[in-house]
Amino acid sequence: MHLFEIEDQGWCPPAIRDAVTDFLAYLVRAGKQYAPAIRWLNLVLDECEPDQITDLCSGGGGPWPSLLRALMAGRKRYVSVCLTDKYPNFKALSAEVKRADGALTFHAGSVDATGIPSELGGVRTLFTAFHHFAPEQARAIVQDAVRQRHGICVFEVTQRSLMAVALTCLSPLIVLFVTPLIRPFRLSRVLFTYIIPLIPIAVLFDGIVSCLRTYSPDDLREMLGETSLQDYTWHVGEEQTQSSPVPMTYLVGYPKRSSATQLAVAPEPAHTYASATSSGAAAAG
């Protein structure tokens, strides 16, 4: 159900949009909901040199600060990540870049995921963002990565399910509880949370809409089947996380070393994570 989200709209006040993205970033970091993404990132980076990532629709930085530390520790080498967004959250992104000692950068200009500047290279990643795009836009994002021979990793921790919507209904209470813990501090965040509760309302509305818009693994496989994808290997499925009953959905693609295009069976996950509940096994047509 491709409905609209408040934070996507040009008329949304920056104070509200930034507060929503700050909250989402805090939530995914505190819950480590994207920890299973590390092995997929490792897989794609092994296939796509150099160790460079352009993150799209970064919001307040998403899971990257802690995720990047774990990624570099496992790879035992430097990985650079450039954060981008159509509406950059300058204060939050600047703070994350300063804390990352050069491993994180951010693109100060507006970057639309459907029209990525050629100077932004490396593997493309989207965390909790792919559902923002209608099917034709989502296919175009994948096709553009293939056309430019970039790896692409799409991860979502929302789901089009009753359980996910029910859990999202608790989000306003979580906003009230964690707002004092979110950094950098913003007086506007306090005002629009406790005095005029626009932020809890926006988080609830956008959260429910996000669940209803999220692509299932079957949707993603169908999308790949409708797309002209040459010489790429694809992994699609769900993987349970330790911090949430809602699984992480993933779509991962990278150029093949051989000539055949395939929708691959996912490799076995690391022992610290549950096995993927669904993985692609059919060829992309």
In this predicted structure, the answer to whether residue 283 has a pLDDT above a threshold of 50 is no
**Residue 103 falls inside a structural domain:** yes
pTM over 0.75: yes
For the chain, percent helix, then strand, then coil, each to nearest 5?
45, 15, 40
How does DSSP assign 61-94, residue by residue?
-TTHHHHHHHHHHHHTS--EEEE--SS--HHHHH
Percent of the chain with pLDDT over 70: 88
Q: Give the residue from 205, 225, 266, 153 showing the smallest Cα distance to 9.
A: 205
Domain count within the chain = 1
Range of the domain at 51: 15-158+214-279
Distance of CA 229 to the CA centre of its chain: 22
User: Does residue 166 sit within a domain?
Assistant: no
**Higher-pLDDT residue of 50, 71:** 71
Q: CATH no. for residue 105?
A: 3.40.50.150
At 71, the pLDDT band (50, 70, 90 cuts) reads very high
Instruction: List, as own/partner pairs, every contact residues 196-199 make where C-beta atoms lie below 8 angstroms and the sequence separation is at least 24, other chains included.
Output: 197/172, 198/16, 199/16, 199/19, 199/20, 199/23, 199/175
Res 275 pLDDT > 50: no
Asked whether residue 150 is domain-assigned, the answer is yes
Residue 137 domain-assigned (yes or no): yes
90, amino acid identity: F
> Is 173 within the bounds of a domain?
no
Contact 236/281 with Cβ under 8 angstroms?
A: no
Rg over alpha carbons for the chain, rounded to the nearest Å, is: 18
Distance CA 206, CA 224 (A): 27
Answer whether 191's CB lies under 8 Å from 275's CB.
no
| Bridge partner list, 106 | 83
Q: Does the residue 179 lie in any domain?
A: no
Residue 168 lies in a domain: no
Alpha helices in 124-263 (DSSP H): 135-147, 162-168, 171-178, 187-190, 198-213, 217-225
pLDDT in tens, 74-129: 999 999 999 999 999 999 999 889 888 778 999 999 999 998 998 999 999 999 99
Using pLDDT thresholds of 50, 70 and 90, give the confidence band for residue 267.
low
Q: Is there a domain that residue 165 lies in?
A: no
Give yes or no for a contact between 238 and 266, defined as CB atoms under 8 angstroms apart: no
